[in-house]
Structure formats: structure tokens, C-alpha cells
A and B are shown apart, each in its own frame.
Chain A
Amino acid sequence: MIQSLFILSPTGEILIERHFRSILTSRTICDIFWSRASESLNHHGGVSTVLGANPFPLYDSVPPVMEVPDVVSDDVDGGGASSSAGGNGGGGGSLYLFHVLRYGLTYLAACPPCIGRGHHEIPPLLVIEFLHKIADTFVIYFGNPADESAVKDNFSTAYQLLEEMVDFGWPLTTEPNALTDLIRPPTVLAKIQQAMTGGSSSILSEALPKGTVSNMPWRKAGVSHPNNEIYIDIVEEIDAIISSNGVVISSDVSGSIQAQSNLSGVPDLLLTFNDPSLIDDCSFHPCVRYSRFEKDRIVSFVPPDGCFELMRYRVRANENDPLATNLAVGNVPIQVIPRISYGQFGERGGGGAGGVGGGGGSTSGDVVGRISLSVSARSISSLIFSPSRKGPLAIEDVTIVIPFPKFVRTANLNVTTGQVIYDEAGKIAKWTIGKLDEKLRPQLNGSMVLEDGDNKETMASSLYASGGEEQPPLFVNWKILLASVSGLNVSGLSVTGEHYKPYKGVRNITKSGTFQIRCH
């Protein structure tokens, strides 16, 4: 399986290097990879991560799997025995590089083409999933985002984690509950303590990792909480593509059930839904008994301790017309109408807005563009609100990310509500609106200065853009509490196997998934 793992910083520096199979993969493969990857740094790549935190660059066109010639281990350290064993890593063959990109860090795994003695190919998804699992674990340990500085600050823990998670290139212990038994997540407090006490005992808990030997690797042994409580969030995300005039082109609702369990002992939970038929297709945390759900549509499980994702599901599509979108036209709770145009404005005061044929050769005045966005909340959406909900519709955490085409040099944006930040390097603007209700109708207006008009090609392409081209779609993020698209709700949650009566909390959240507005 995985022969070597490298973790690269956003600038291509190797932060972690680990070889699992007694074969020292040459570090030059990282250079090979990086030279390919850096070619295609996408200036809009950050869109996907801008939703959460700071944008990280993404390389866009490097597929996650690639083949590189296996550079004979030239041992950077200067002379020394390279591998003798393994048999398949020798020079002349190829290595396969798998990478995933998380928070700007590249997790790069080098694998031989096949498992062991060559009767099985390496399942590519296995490697990719595992790399994500490592990144997920880093998030749990080092906080969100687990970016360059976080990993650097905790690199020794990272090495230890890899030691426990990987054995001979194969996943060993991957359940967070079991891992936290083995290696305690570093906290600032623990570090201080360690620094002062010499760190003899605080870092590694002396308790045995029962999790790894129990039947339930996902649950710690001997959990005890003073207050037994379990919280369940039913989060439904709407993925939608919406045209510039507000027509829903495609929409898709996928839900997940996030739980936070603080229950002592080994509780056995039974979760029932009000209308399980709403669930079309689903996947479960390994703790869930599949067959029970198949039979009775009841989720029966012994939860891990702490936060976890119990299940994911897709909401059943419209039976009669599978091609129809789930949400009827205009039923999305938020509407964003963009108007973007590029053309010749400037001092001369207005060549035609859509000036396709307008003579582009003359140079007086900057070529500029105009942008205006109007945002409004729609109360007549198809959301189902929890009965406990009071007051008018309020959409929270509304942000709009506006990527600009490459030929835009800079933008000058004004908003009526919230604040907008334009990132010159990434050519992305992020407009944070915050809370939106029906009364509020935030507006964004602004103009863009395009790249110099001297260059005919650019000029041409900017005119070309006036036909509505090249304007990437906008991304809208929002969240509505206590509302649901599907109407799925928990009708009961019972605990058996333990005597206490836990506090149970359930809420619905509807939020945006990939919610994009096309601008043309």
C-alpha cells in the first residue's frame, strides 16, 4: 500500500516525511509533483475553502492520481543502503502518487502499482479516503483549520499519529475514539504543563487503549460523564444551481445527522424518524446496525463518544419526474439577482453596455465593468419549520463569494449591509451580510477595472466577456435554524443498556451546500 507519505506546505515545502515500507522514496517525487501542481494554481481555487476560513490556493488540473517514474532512491542523505526488500519499488518502474488537498496542505502518498506480489491493484479510493482520514484526524487534534502552522506546531504529534495510524502502509488505528486513547490531543494547557513538569506523564495517558481491543473500535471504554446528554442536529444542505434570473436549474438536498454524545457507559440508542420514507439513500457511521435499518427503518447504534456524524442521506427526489428539481422555482429561501456587465465606460461616459461591436482599438478610458447584486429573503419557500420556531424567517450567516474573471484588475465594491472584502490576489470578493430577514434587502454595487486595454487580446477577451462569458458563478452561503427541507425529524430516541435518563436535544438546520448563482 502506501510506501511513503509526504505532507507539503502551500509553498511545496515538505513538512512531514514518513516511509512505511523500509523503502526510502526519493524526495524528488515531491519536486516532480510540485512542478506539475504549481503550474495550475487556480486563482479561483480558494472558492471551495473560502466558505470556511481563509482561502487556500488549489491546483486545479492535477488529477488526484498520477503516475511518475520511480526515481531510484538517490538518498538525499548521501550514500547509504536503499531498499533491498519489497521487490516492487525498484528503479525503472513507476510510482503512483495520490494526493488530497486540505487547508492548503498536500497529503501526498507514493504507492507501488500493486499490492505486495502483484495480484491486486491498489484501490485508489482506499488511499484517498485514508489520506482524508489522516487530515480529518489532524483537524481533531490540531483544530480547524489544520493548516501549515497548525501542523508545524504539532509536528511531533503528527509523527506519532502517523505511527499509530499506519503500519506498513496499511491503516491501523483510525477511529478517533481509539486514537485519543493512545495519544492525547495536544492542548496549550497540556503543553504548559508538560513544559513545567517535564512532560513525563501528561502527554500519553497511562490508561490502556481499550478502544482498540474492544468489539467497538469507535467507542472508548469506560466513558463517564457527569451529565449524560446527547444532541442531534439534522443538517440538510441544499446544493443548487440557480440562473441569473432566479430560476432553479438543479437542486439536490442531502442531509446528515450530526450527533454529539456525552453518554456514560455503553448506551445503546434507538433513533426513530417521523417519516423514514423521506430517506432515499443513506450511509452510516460504522456504529449503526445496517440490517436493523433495512428492516425497521430504525437507526440502532452504540455511539462513539463525542462528536460524530451518524448518517448521511439523500432526500427522495420527486417520484413522478426525476428530472424535476426538488425545489420548485422560487422556492429557495434566498434570492440573489446578479447583474454584471463589462464594457467601455470610464471618462467618456458610457459606450454601450453590451458593446460587442464597439471599436475596441482606441485607448482612452479604462475598460471597466459594472456589478450589482441584490439579495432578498423569500418567505414563501418550501421549508418546513419546527413547531417551536417563532418569529419571521431569518437567514443567518449569509455570505456571498464573488469570483472575478482573470481579466479583472481590481474592483471597487460598495454594499448597503454587511461588509465586503476584495482579495486582489485571488480576485475574489467576499461579502458578509450576516443575518437576513425579509425586510432587509442588501445591495452591492461596484465597478471593476479591467486589465489594460492596450493589449488587443485582452481587450478582445474582455469584449468577449460582455456576451456574458467567463463570469464564474457566485457562491452563496446561508443557514436557517429550525427548518428543514424534507421535513425529516426525529420522533424518538431511546437509550437502553444504561440506567440513566439522558438529556436529549434535537434540532433541524437547513443550510447551503454548493449553492451557486450563475451569472449568465
Chain B
Amino acid sequence: MASWPVVHPAASTAAADAASAVADAATATAAAISSIDPTGLYSSNLVSSALFTIGDAQFFEESISPSTVRHQLSITGDPSNPSTTLNLLKGMKWLLANMSKGRNVSDFFPHVVKLVGVPNLEVRKMVYIYLARYANHDSSCRELALLSINAFQRGLADREPLLRSLALRVLTCMDVPDVLQLQILGVRTCCKDSSPYVRKCAANAVCKLHPRCLGSGDEVQAEQLVEIISRLLEEDGSTMVLTSAMIAFCEICPHRLELLHRCYRKVCHLLTDMDEWGQVVVMDVFMQYCRKFFKQPRGQLNGSAELIDRERRVTRSTRKMCGGATIMNPLGHDLGGAGALNGGGGGGGGSGNADTLDTFLSLNAAAKTTTSSSTGATNNASSIPPPARSPRQKVKRRVVRKAFYSDEEDESSEEEVDPYYPITGGNVARTLREPELLGTPTKSTSDTFFRDDVNASTLNGNGTAPIAMALNDDEDSDLDEDHKLLLQSSMPLLKSRNSAVVLAACSLHYHCGVASIKTRSALGKALVRIHRDRREIQYIVLQSIRTLVHECPSAFSPFLNDFFVKGMDPSFTRMIKLDILLTLSTDPKAVETVLSELRTYVRHSDKVFACAAIRAVAKVAELARIAYDRRAHTQKGLDIKSARADSNAIALNCLSGLIMLSEYSKNAEVVGECVMSMQRILSQLWSDDGTTNTVKDPSGVQERALKRLLLIIVRSLNNHSDDDNGDEEKIAEHTKLELKAVCVPDLAIASSIFIIGEWLTMSRYSSTPWNIDEKSKRKIRFEVMRLLAKPFTSLDPQIKLQAVHLASKVLLSMKENETASSDDVSQKERALGEFVLALAKMDVLQDVRDRARYEGNMLHMSVGLSYDTSSLQQPPPGAASVSVDMAKSMLLGRKPNASSVPLDSDEFACAKREVELFRFGTLSNALCNTWTGSTIPLPNWAEKDSPSALRDTSTAKSSDHDAVGHYSDSSEDESSSSDSSSSSSEDSSDVSSDSDSTSSSSEDEISIEAKAVTNGGPGILGSASPHNAMSIVPSLLMTMNPPLTLTEMIATTVVTVTSSGHGPVGTILDLDNLPPSHGTSHFHTQSSSGSGVAEGLEDLIMAPIVAMRDDISKPSNIDDESGVWKDFVRPELSGGLYIKMRFVHGSSRVREAEIMGLDPKTSSTVCLQVHIENMRSDAGVLRHVRIVHRGGLSSGMISPSKAITPPEIPVLNKGMASSVFIGLTFATATDRDGITVAKFDVKSDRGMTSIEVRPTLGELLNDEAPRDMSQSDFDTKISGLLGIQRTSSPFTFAPMKADDFDSLPRKVLQHMNLKLIGKWTGKGSFVGILPSSGQEVYVTLTCDQKSGNGQILVCCNDAMAANSILNLMKQTLKNGLF
């Protein structure tokens, strides 16, 4: 590799640079041209007009009048005259420009329609654009449009496929009812076109015509169009056509998924080969297909995984159950903390006042788990079924399995199976498993997760082992083969450069795949990668990530940093990123990171975003508590108290930041948001969640917060009572306040009144922040009440409600301090409170009145109100009155934490809705709306898998060869044969185009072929002699992808052969000629595990055989025509893999070469038969055995220009063997010996071995040409070769048996591709042809059996070659004889 120190000018990274360079050059040229002397070649007039016409922008100007254009278009001069064409061009451009401007230029239609046949393609294309736009404009246009039909029909018969397709496209574009029949006719013709491009356009045209057929009420025609599409889908092999056919399916008959049965496997296999746009559509369609025809994978649960709110609820309620005790199950720690939460949760026992079913169930399960763990089975992998719910077993199983997508690594995953309650059960269990996933933040990759799982499962006690073992099968083992095929073939698309493809693949796997963490992480990774794209793409991708991140935070937690808001993120992505960041704040470290980011965001210039960030601060503070609690549960040495202290410290930190911000900011919205967030944090700090909760607050942050809130209340409420501003002092106060605080929105005032009310009435014995004496507190209370009472009627309803609440709380707490309440102040205060209640009772708003009546009545019944009691009820006689304690517990008790995460916030609610209603990545998801009904739900899963026979293509039809996926992933030969593969498919496509032309030329032939193939492939083979057919089998393998089960193949072949042999009439096969089946003896041990799913591909993969039909009838015997086996890979060196090869000669070579798409006439083509066998001593299995050609030139050597290597053998069991072929065409033919070399890597899961194949000159000789040479011919020929052209050498050999002696020439022939002339009588004559020069080589071998002396004589025009041959002969004899 040349290193490249200098900046090369040509390597500009952007194509555009090059383009601009060209433009520069062109400008220079233009300048040069314009400087040419006027009397020169070009007239200056022309040049100037040329320069004037540079750039089409002029047509947007008003400089040209319509009449000029009309004139330009109507000149019908000589069409070949350049100036005519130029005028036409100008005219059409003007028309287009005016169409762009929105003008109606339909009155030019008569002029334009005449131009459909103009020879210049550019003009013609513009005419087409115009026609498509105006053909259906009005009745006169429609009539005139008919004039153009003739031209299009001529176009449809054009020689060039491009023009045919163009004509079809434009013809079908015209929405003119009169020509519908003609259009349909055109489509019918074109869908049988030989060019895939035309067929593609025909498929597209079907989309256009179908609605028109329906529109005109022609159901029959419409149905026929559907048939065209379904036929294209089934029969066509070109990815190009399939793509469009699939789109057409989507457009015209998307509900008829059953039409896809036959093409399902084919399309799956070709998926990677399709164009990007088609892949998206195919995956979308197959998602529906998959759900309709396969049953739900066990691993897939709706709304599965890691919903954090569930997790939180469990944490919270389990703690409630504990009653504040921190019971930890120490046993859980050894298992990576997996069972810890369960233990902690269940310790409290069974009584549940849980509010949701989920929580109830989870508690139940948790309790049970604890029971089991306390009895010594220390694992979370088992859970005893809650007997109350169901007598059926709910088993959480842990499965160590073979990975689905990766071949190398085994991994384990655990699956919760409750066949009867799949969804609820799964969720509960997953929720319980949660801490394991979330509590171990440092495990970055899912691998780590799994490894831990493995450990845990190995650690599992013996107690549950039998159950686990019993269910120990693959997570995806229940997947239908075809379902698996789809998932497998779509997996590589996650690596597409097109984000739409990636997203579609993610969606497919999400909705139809196995919901393992592993898969989810793969999806996550791909999504994160594509989100770094242009902003429009980023928007959609981020929305999808937001949906997924709720499901599976762990898949995205390694990418936290990627979701930081960047400086130029548009507002629509900023908000989503914020949401994602929040959801990812699941562990202390992430919380810290996110908080430091939020610190930046709250000061963002986009105030809406800043407000969202402030809201987020409160949420993160709450998430921090959950995260720390969880960590305390899952890590040794941490208790809940210190965790609580940590999280409280964070909350206080947030609070302090918010106070600062509310001081700084002059923006009402921002400050309002701060106030609300402060309220949330304070509520959280003071909330009653069962723990002995003392908030350590050394720096008095809460106090500062309260002061700040008070100030803001006072300022804002002051603003409301602006009317009495006569007072000098008040104005001064006002201004002072204004400087200190801003007036915040009403909602924020309400929110702060609530929290201030909480503080003011906080019972004395609880640890109160900002401990001030009762007197000052009362003063504050009084002032706030006064401010509320004064403008009460004009206040916002929210504030009114809070005012009522505050008033009743104050009144109730005054009762408590009865002793102190006799003084004047408290009298006033009481009066004020009741005044507020009374005002509220007569408020215009129903809500406020209700609240006031409710709270007023309660107060009246418990403590008694003194003033306006008219509307209040007395406690009913005889009933116990509402006690003070009861009222207090209702109004003054510590509230449980009103969580803001994630249910009550808009964004989260929206995201939640997405999970439930929308598929991610869809349009409705992007818009998040349902009312249009645009959201299209996926079909429900089928009850059971549909029979796979549905997807069998029993009749192979088309002889399309170009279907062989060029880059298809599933085509195993592709992937394994590396470099050579493309050349091979090149070849095969060559073949295909050949056969294309032949097939189009003679229709009969097609039908014959088709019939032959319809017999099921072997039918063709049936026409060959049996062992011939046998020998074809291995070579079939090379063209097949993925390989059919070899044994199966043989079985079918043999069966067909036999049966047709016994068949009555018309069989070509003569059973009597059936030799002892040594042909099959090579193969009866062969096996490779192909999948049945390849069956859909016969028509694609067997194609080359059809071309071979003639040759097959010739008898050949591969054993007679091949060289000796040579060991290439020894089992002891390669982990048990044994490979031997031999060269194939004669007609076998020709046949194999043709099958592999090599040119057998080229003498540099050699074929090798390869025997691959598993000779492992330990009865192990070899996987992924493949032979890969290694390119690269070595000096002085000739390497193959084409190498056809066999497909990969996925599994080779012990003792199994496979026989395949390798085909090589060397770059050049040579007459020199030993300079041809082909290097291969033999790879398997046990390692790699490099081998070199060096065909000797002897192998490269051609034995074909001198076919009819007799002994006398031979003698005359060699008599002419004398001197340097003749070389000989004596040799000796040990005495040998007569049999051996007789077989001597065969041994020679095994090494040398020569032809024996006459008979062997102790003297033999051989002849061959040199590969390069084509000269003949004559060899005479003379042996005297008795004396053991012999002589070799080689005669050839090329002395060097003669020498080489002589040496080879000597060597052969040496090896062969002794």
C-alpha cells in the first residue's frame, strides 16, 4: 500500500469539488472560445447567443413573450436542424418555467402534443412532463392527448429498453379515461419484457392503473392487474422488479397478504440485494405478514422490559410494606444483587393495599420469592407461582442458549414464561428483574449482562435445577423457520447507510422479533448511529429512540452523551433529547451527568426549552431518589438511610440551583417554572414514604427556598391587587419587590401557595425546615391570607382552589393551638380564613364552590366555624361527628410523594401513548395523533404458525437467472467465496442475458424448458444417465444458496431416476445401463445442514442446469477422468478437518466448468473435486467450513482471474463428508510449468488453514483436440520432431504385477491430462496440447516389464515445455509406481 504523504489534488472528498473544478475548466474554455477571432470558426453572433443561453434562469424572467414561444414551438423545420431543436428546447423550457410559477399554460397543448415524436430526447422528455401535467386538464386536452398515443405505442416497441420504459411510464401517467384500455395493454406487454427495468416500470404502472380501473368500476380489470403483480412477485427473480412489485402490492392490494406466500422466501433471501427504498417497503409488508401468519415468539411481550415507572412503583410500595424497616436479604448480593429487591420487598409480608394490579401482583410474587429464598434456594431464577392467582405454574426460566444472530458466542438469556398470563405475568416478573438491569450501571454492554446472567444461573441452587433444565430450550426455538429467516435476513440491514432502512429493520425486529436485551441493544446501537444525521432525519430517529428508551433504557445508557443538546439542534429535537436524557437517568452516575447538562440547558435562550429543562430538574431529583434507593438495595454495604441522604443532597442541590435561577431570571415563565419545580422538590423532601426521613440541610436551602417562594407570592399577589396604589409607601414597596422578583404565572402561584401552606401548617413535632417561632409564622400566614382574600374574586381558579385549601388548613391548625388562639391576631386570622371560605362558596366556578363547601363542612363538623355558618351542615344527629384527628389526617397529614415521573408530564404521557398506540417510526408516531385515524395497527399475532408448505413454491416457473443475488447475504456462496464471487455472478448474469435473448427469440424453447423444470428439477436430471446425474449433484451445490440438504437432493434424484426408470413410456433413461452405484458411493456419507427454506429458490438456483441439458446426455465418469487425490488439509493440523482434492479432466471438467460459469474451452480453466470430511477425534461438529479464495498477486506467478469456490458448509458432523468442486480460470495460459498458483484459505470454526493449488503443466494440458489421432498419425508426427524438440530419459522400475503394469497408463493419465493413442502394450503413446501455444505434445512411454527398464520420450516444438513434461512424467512414474 502506497502511503501517501502529499495531498493529491484528485482526491477531493466531495464529489461537488470535482464538479466545481469541471465548471471552472469550462468557464476557462468558454472564455477561450469567446476570444476566438470573429472571422474564425464560429461567428461571434452565435457565440454571444450561446453565452446568453447559458443558464436556464432566464426563462423565469418575463423577457420572452408567449407568442414567441408559440412560434418557436410551431416551427416544423427539418428536425435534424440544430436551430430547430434549439428553438424547441427554449420553448419547452419556457413552458416548464411557467408551470413552476403556477401559470396555466394549457393553451399550448396543441403545439406541444405534436412534439411527442421529436428525435431529441431532451425535448421529448420535457414534452412528456408537460403532457403528464395537462393531459387531463380539460376536454380539449383530453381529446388532443389521444393524438400522442400513437407515438407512445411506437415507443413501447422500441429496441431500447430505456425508451420502452420511458414510453410506458409517460403513457400510464396520463390520466385520460379513454386510453385506459391501451394503457392496460401496454402494461401487459411490458410485464413480460426481457429487460428487468421495463418490467419494473410495468409494475409501477400497475399502481397507476389500478385505481383508475376501480374508479371506472371495472373490477375485473382491476383483479387482472392484481394478478399481474402476484405473478411478478412469484416468478420474477430480478430484485429490481421485485421491489416495484412489492410496492405495487402495497398500493393496490395490501390486505391480500396470502398472495405473498409463494414469494416470501425468495424475497427474504434477496432482501439485502434490493434497493434501499424497496427494503423499507418489504419490511413493512412482511411485518404484517409475519404477525398474520406466525405465532408470537415467546420472547416477545407487549410492553415488556424496563418501564421505569413500574419499577418505581414497586420500589415505593414495597417500602411501604416494610413499614420503614430496612430489611435486606443478604443472600441476594452474591447473585449480582439480582434478588435483593425481591428480598427487601417481600420482607414486610403479605398484606397489600397496593393500588394497582401490577403492584399487587409484583408484591405477591416478591413475597413468594422471599419465601423461597429464605428456605435456602437462593435464587431469583425461580419463583413459586402465586397460588391465589392460578394453580398453573408460572416458571421463570433461565436459558443458556445458542445465540440467534451471532454464530460464535453462546449466551444466555432468561425468559419468563407464563403461558396463561403472558403479558401481566411477564411484566411483573420483568419488573422484579429490573434492579438487575438498572442497578448495575457500570456494565456497559449487554454482553456483560449476559455473562452475569450465566454466572447467576450457574450459581443457582440445585433446588430449581430440574425445572430449569426441563425448559431449557432455545428462546427462539419455537419460531417458525420462515419467521426466523425473515429476522435473519433483515438483520444486516441495520448496517444500511439509509436511515429509513435501519429504522424499518428496527421496527420489524421490535414488533416481530425476539425481545431479548441483546437484540434490543443491537437496535439501539443502530439507531444511535443514524441519529447523527441531518436534522430532519434526526428528528424522526430521536422520536423512535424515545419510544424504545422507555422500553429498554439499558440499550441506550452507553450512549447517554450522544443525547446532549448541541448548540444548533432545532427546537423540535431539543425537547426529545431532553426527554431521552431524563429517561436514561436511571443510575446515580447518569443522574449526575444529566444534572450537569441540565445546568446548561436551564439558561438556554429558547425559553420554552429552558422551562422544560427546569421541569426536568425536579424530575431528575426524583429519579435520583429512585436510583439511589435501588443502588442501596443492590449493593452491599449501603443502607437505605445513607442512600436517602445522598439523594436528598442531590435534591437540595437542585433546589439551590433553582433558587439562584429564580433570582437571576427576569423571565416570568422561567421563574414560574422554577417555582413549580421547587414545589415538587420540597414536596418530595417532605413527603411521607414510610422512612424516618430527616433531611439534613446544613446550609438551609429549604429555608431559602421558602423565603424565595414567599417573596414571589407576595410580589405576584401584590400585582393582582394593583388598584389601590395610591399609597406612597406601597409604590415604593412595589418597586422594591419588582426588583427582587418577577410576577409569575398563575399556575406557579397556586403551586407555591400549596407548598407554603404545607410548611405553615406543618405540625410542630416534625422536623420543620426554617424553624421560626410560632409568632412570626402566624404573621406570615396572616399576610398570605390577606393577600389572597383581597383580590380573591379576580384570581385564577387554580389559585382560588389553593386559597381555599390554605384557609381550611390554617383554620384546622389553629384549632390545634387552641390555647394561643384567643388573642386578637388569631381572631382576625380566623375571620380571614372563614372569609375566604365564604367567598369561595359563592364563587362563579363550580369547582371552587365544591371545594369550599366540602372543606368548609368538614371544618364545621370537626372544629366548628364561627362566622358564616348559614350554608353549613350540622353533623347529623346520632352520627359520630367528624373528629379533629380525622380532619387533620385528611388535610394536614403528610402527603405521599406526588410523583411527576413520568405519568403526569405531557412529554412522558405522549411517549407512553406512543408505546401503546403507535408503532415507532411511523407517520402517526411522528405526529403523535390519532384523530385522523391514520394510525394503522398491526394485525394480531396468529394463534399458531401457518404451515410452511404455504410458502413452498411447488412449481418452479420462470427461467430468470438474474435472480441470483449479487450481494445477497443469504447467498452463502457469495459470502464465502469472497473476491471471486462477483466475477462468478458476473458470469452467471452473462449466461442469463444469453438465455434471455434466446428465450425471447423462441417462445417454444421456453415452454419446453419450463415444462422440464416443472417436473421438479430432477426431471431434467432424469434425462441424463444416472451416475451422470450423480456427479452433477455436488456441482449443483456450488450454484445453490443456501445449499439444499445434500442427502435430500440425492434422495430425490435417485427416487426420480428410479421411478422414471420404471415409468412406462417416454423415458430416456435405460435402467439396464445403470452401473454399480459407485457414483453415489462418494456421496452417501455426505451431509450438510441446509435449511428447508431454500426450497423457494429452485427456480433461481437451478437455472444453470437448464443450459446444460444437451451435454448431460453424454456419458462421463468422473472417477475415470480425474487425477489422484491429494491431501491438502490434514485433520491433525486443522482441528479435524480433512480436505483432499483432485483435478478433474475430460468431459467431467468441461461439464463442471460450464456449471460454474467458467469457460471450459480456455485451457487455463481447471476444475478440482474437493473432498471435505470431518475427521475430528472427539466426535465434535465442524461449523462454517468454507474455502475462500485469497487474491493477491505474487511476482512471477499466475493467479486465477476467476475462482469459483463452493458454498459454505454450515455444519459438518463427525464422519460426514462432502464433495464439492472448485473451478479456476487462470489469468493467462502458460506453457511453463509450476508458475500457476491459486491460494485458498480453508476456514472453519476451528481455525484457518492456507492452501495452495499449483496445477502442473500436465494438468493444464488439453486432451480434447487431437481426438481422432491414430497410432500411425502419431508416429509420423513425432518423426518430424528432432533435435532440440525431442528429449528422452531412461528410468528403471521394480518388477510389478501384471495388473499394475496394465494400469500404468491410467496412472499416467491421472497426473497428466494426456490422451492415450491406441493400446498399451508395454509401449504407449500419449498426446496432449499445450495450453498457451496450442502446440501438440507427444509422449512415448516404453517399459519392459521384465528388465524393469523403461524410457520416456517427449517430443514437442516447445523445447522447454517438452522438458517440463519429461520431468513431470518421471515424477509421476516415480510416485505412481513405487
Contacts and interface: CB of A to CB of B under 8 A. Distances in A.
Contact of B557 (A124, A262, A322, A491): A322
B934 A167 contact: no
Given A84-B175, A323-B561, A217 B571 contact: no
B605 interface: yes
Given A167-B169, A233-B11, A139 B496 contact: no
Nearest to B1184: A295
A144 B16 contact: yes
A65 B927 contact: yes
Interface in B36-52: 42, 46-47, 49-51
A121 B211 contact: no
Interface in A356-385: 356
Interface in B1305-1328: none
A173 to B, nearest CB: 9
A86 B215 CA distance: 9
B80 A170 contact: no
Contact of A125 (B288, B492, B499): B499
A388 B566 CA distance: 36
B55 A213 contact: no
A78 B288 CA distance: 43
A124 B921 contact: yes
A168 B204 contact: yes
Contacts of B136: 22, 81
A425 interface: no
B11 A260 contact: yes
For chain B, which range describes its interface: under 10, 10 to 19, 20 to 34, or 35 or more residues?
A: 35 or more
Given A17-B99, A241-B566, A270-B979, A125 B561 contact: no
Interface in A427-472: 457, 460-461, 463-464, 467-470, 472
B195 interface: yes
Contacts of B919: 121
Contacts of B80: 200
A379 B666 CA distance: 44
A387 B3 contact: yes
Contact of A119 (B195, B254, B664): B254
Nearest to B17: A144
Interface in A17-45: 17-19, 21-22, 27, 42, 44-45
Nearest to A311: B497
B141 to A, nearest CB: 9
Interface stretch (B85-93, B879-887, B1053-1061, B1114-1122): B85-93
Interface string B1213-1228: 0000000000000010
Contacts of B197: 212-213
Contacts of B492: 290-291, 294
- Most chain A CB within a 10 A radius of its CB, from B85, B201, B277, B924: B277
Nearest to B275: A217
Contacts of A503: 2
B190 to A, nearest CB: 13
Which of A84, A292, A325, A470 has its CB near the most chain B CB atoms (within 10 A)?
A292
Contacts of B445: 319
Interface in B433-448: 442, 444-445
Nearest to B41: A196
Contacts of A516: 566-567
B138 interface: yes
A141 B1191 CA distance: 37
B927 A67 contact: yes
Contacts of A131: 536
B19 A159 contact: no
Nearest to B3: A388
A275 interface: no
A493 B104 CA distance: 57
A118 B936 contact: yes
Interface stretch (B615-623, B695-703, B980-988): B980-988
B254 to A, nearest CB: 3
A140 B20 CA distance: 10
A72 to B, nearest CB: 17
A119 B922 CA distance: 13
Contacts of B1191: 270, 494-496
Contacts of A45: 568
B934 A114 contact: yes
A254 B966 CA distance: 29
A42 B571 CA distance: 10
A506 B1013 CA distance: 50
Nearest to B1186: A295
Interface string A67-85: 1000000001111110111
A506 to B, nearest CB: 6
Interface in B285-320: 285, 288
A468 B8 CA distance: 45
Contacts of A475: 567-568
B64 interface: no
B83 interface: yes
Given A115-B254, A195-B50, A493 B13 contact: no
A283 interface: yes
A117 B93 contact: no
Given A76-B104, A125-B537, A283-B530, A192 B50 contact: yes
B258 interface: no
B500 A129 contact: yes
A199 B541 contact: no
A135 to B, nearest CB: 9
B1 A123 contact: no
B160 interface: yes
B566 A213 contact: no
Interface stretch (A202-210, A336-344, A345-353): A202-210
Interface string B923-956: 1101101001011100000000000000000000
B907 interface: no
Interface string B590-607: 100100110010011100
B121 interface: yes
Interface string B543-578: 000000000000001111110101110111000000
Given A199-B85, A295-B975, A469 B603 contact: yes
A397 interface: no
B1373 interface: no
B85 A200 contact: yes
Given A61-B571, A67-B927, A19 B2 contact: no
A252 B284 contact: no
Interface string B247-258: 100111111000
Nearest to A231: B11
A185 B20 CA distance: 12
Contact of B195 (A93, A213, A293): A213
A188 B11 contact: no
Contacts of A48: 535, 568
Nearest to A139: B16
Contact of B19 (A118, A124, A143): A143
Contact of A192 (B10, B13, B33, B590): B33
Nearest to A509: B13
A345 to B, nearest CB: 20
Contacts of B272: 290
A496 B162 contact: no
Contacts of A98: 536
A451 B92 CA distance: 52
Nearest to B239: A215
Contacts of A192: 26, 29-30, 33, 50-51, 54
B1346 to A, nearest CB: 54
A15 B99 CA distance: 9
A139 B55 CA distance: 16
5 contacts: A85-B211, A121-B936, A129-B276, A159-B96, A187-B26
Nearest 7 Cβ contacts at the A-B interface: A198-B82, A77-B104, A144-B16, A116-B251, A119-B254, A195-B50, A188-B26
Given A191-B50, A507-B7, 15 more contacts: A17-B99, A44-B568, A48-B568, A67-B927, A128-B540, A152-B60, A159-B126, A159-B129, A187-B26, A191-B53, A198-B86, A209-B162, A229-B10, A250-B564, A467-B603
